[in-house]
Amino acid sequence: MMFLLLLLVGPAHAWVSLEDWGSGSVEGSVGEFGQCVCNVFLPDTTFPADRMENMQTSSNDLSIEVKLQINKVISLKGQLSVLLSELSNLTIRLEVLESGPDKYIKLEFELLRIELREFEALVTQLKLSLNFSSPAIESLYAEIRNMSSIVDQLESYDKSNLEVIRIEFAKLQKKLEKCQDDREDVSNAQIGSCKHRGILRMGKPIISQLNANLNSGYKYGGWGKDSSPVSGSEDMYWYAGAADTLFSTVTLYSDYYKLIIRQAYQTNQLYVAYKYDWRGSGNNYIVRSNALYYQYNNPFSMAKFNLTSATVQTKVLPEATTRFSYHYSPNQNLDFAADESGLWVTYATEASNGKLVLGKIDENSLELQEVWQTSVFKQSVTNAFMVCGVLYATRSVDTMTEEIFYTYDTNTDKETYVSIQFEKFQDFYVYLDYNPADQRLYMYNNGYYVYYNVKFRDA
């Protein structure tokens, strides 16, 4: 006999048949009063509340994530609008510049503003290096702010007013250099004199600016002054830079101000297709007596490029090898240096097993007059320079610190291990050379012009 179980469900007392419960198991019997009694064994129909809760939590998390992504898209859209606006502005400025030579005045005013900001940065650095302020420094700040106001006012006038600004800039530059020369770390020895006992310490790095190419990718190169300038070129600066260790251009500037505003008076090309290839490699070149001394690329040799006649003279060093370079970068095989006593070159040979060899150069013939063998391994050295016949070799201490750790005195044939630490502007540098004409150490530091004042030990 088939039993029918009827259940009351909810307040409406809806009737539900046993068949509606699916595959439940039913057992029947007769009660003590003769009624039918049914026992129903139903499958587990418990509602999965825990899974529902997890689903709701996940849904909420996804909703929040979607909102965050939407906000990011909105933010990026705003940034894109700003960038498009700046691009449009640059396009307009370029069209103005291209419309006629007289429109270049706008560019010159922009450069002046850039230089004013650089002046302000230099004065700030000077103040920090001195650890105190002074009336002179405060006066410089006031003059820089005044110059900014003058630039804004004169921009609406004719181009002749640029000369007024240049004169004011020259005055400001001289005052800035005077403040720098008054610092404690400026040289205490007479220019050209070797009446001292070598380097005592280095001043703080003085950062002029990014290279003339305005390209941070130009990490290889050098800059500085002529170490023995001809008459009329005492204030001249030079610069050579490239994106790799092969360089082909040397640019000259009449003075420091022209270097800063990137107004060259002469550019020398060491390579002209189908005519000549005088290119060099490495970064350790110098300018002396209006000639560039550098490592000739092919064949590997010493080279002297006359900056006046644009002619080149080369000399092979049979013993020199290209197998050992300085620690920081490749192809730095011939390192030229100048000091109070003349012109030098450092290199390594197979016979020396990679240890530094130092040679004194005859500037006319490029012959080596004398050679000294050191005991320091070249690949452990980051760079080297000469002061008063003494070779100074450097190495890296950390990303912000360099150390002069070794010296070789050609006057006494004595070598010494020392520790003279100095600060780097940035970690990577490829050029470091001393200039006896102003007793400064010039560094090309990750694409930036940097120099140091040198303090000597008293005699």
SS3 call for 110:
helix
Backbone angles phi, psi at 250, to 5 degrees: -125, 125
The band of 62, judged by pLDDT with boundaries at 50, 70 and 90, is confident
CA 272 to chain centre: 29
Nearest to 426 by CA among 393, 404, 449: 449
Helices vs. strands in the chain: H and E counts, helices first: 5, 29
- On whether the CB atoms of residues 407 and 198 are closer than 8 A, the answer is yes
Q: Which one is predicted more confidently, 226 or 80?
A: 226
pTM here is 0.64
12 pLDDT higher than 80: no
CA 182 to chain centre: 28
One-letter amino acid at 209 equals Q
Percentage of the chain lying above the pLDDT 90 cut: 48
- Give the list of residues 6+ apart from residue 190 with CB closer than 8 angstroms, or none: none
- How far apart are the C-alpha atoms of 443 and 388, rounded to whole Å? 19
- How far apart are the C-alpha atoms of 441 and 256, rounded to whole Å? 16
Residue by residue, DSSP assigns 234-258 as: TT-EEEEEESSSEE-EEEEESSHHH
Backbone angles phi, psi at 194, to 5 degrees: -115, 25
Each residue's pLDDT tens digit, 330-374? 889 999 999 999 999 999 999 999 999 999 999 999 999 999 999
Each residue's pLDDT tens digit, 96-117? 544 544 444 455 566 666 666 7
294: number of Cβ within 10 Å: 28
Q: Which one is predicted more confidently, 183 or 405?
A: 405
SS3 call for 306:
strand
Q: Which one is predicted more confidently, 256 or 154?
A: 256
- How far apart are the C-alpha atoms of 90 and 2, rounded to whole Å? 92
Q: Which one is predicted more confidently, 332 or 160?
A: 332
Give me the residue label for tokens 């001195």: 130
- How far apart are the C-alpha atoms of 128 and 361, rounded to whole Å? 41
Mean model confidence pLDDT for the chain: 79
383 pLDDT higher than 50: yes
| Residue range 163-182: mean pLDDT, rounded | 60
What is the reported pLDDT for 135?
Answer: 64
| Residue range 427-446: mean pLDDT, rounded | 94
Each residue's pLDDT tens digit, 232-257? 999 999 999 999 989 899 999 999 98
- How far apart are the C-alpha atoms of 204 and 207, rounded to whole Å? 9
- Long-range (24+ apart) CB contacts under 8 A made by 37-42 are 38/3, 38/5, 40/5
| Residue range 49-68: mean pLDDT, rounded | 70
89 pLDDT higher than 60: no
- On whether the CB atoms of residues 28 and 38 are closer than 8 A, the answer is yes
Each residue's pLDDT tens digit, 413-428? 999 999 999 999 888 8
SS3 call for 312:
strand
What residues are paired with 276 via a beta bridge?
Answer: 272
One-letter amino acid at 170 equals A
Q: Which one is predicted more confidently, 139 or 432?
A: 432
DSSP H or E stretch at residue 392: strand 390-398
What is the reported pLDDT for 257?
Answer: 87
Each residue's pLDDT tens digit, 301-328? 999 999 999 999 999 998 999 989 998 8
What is the reported pLDDT for 113?
Answer: 67
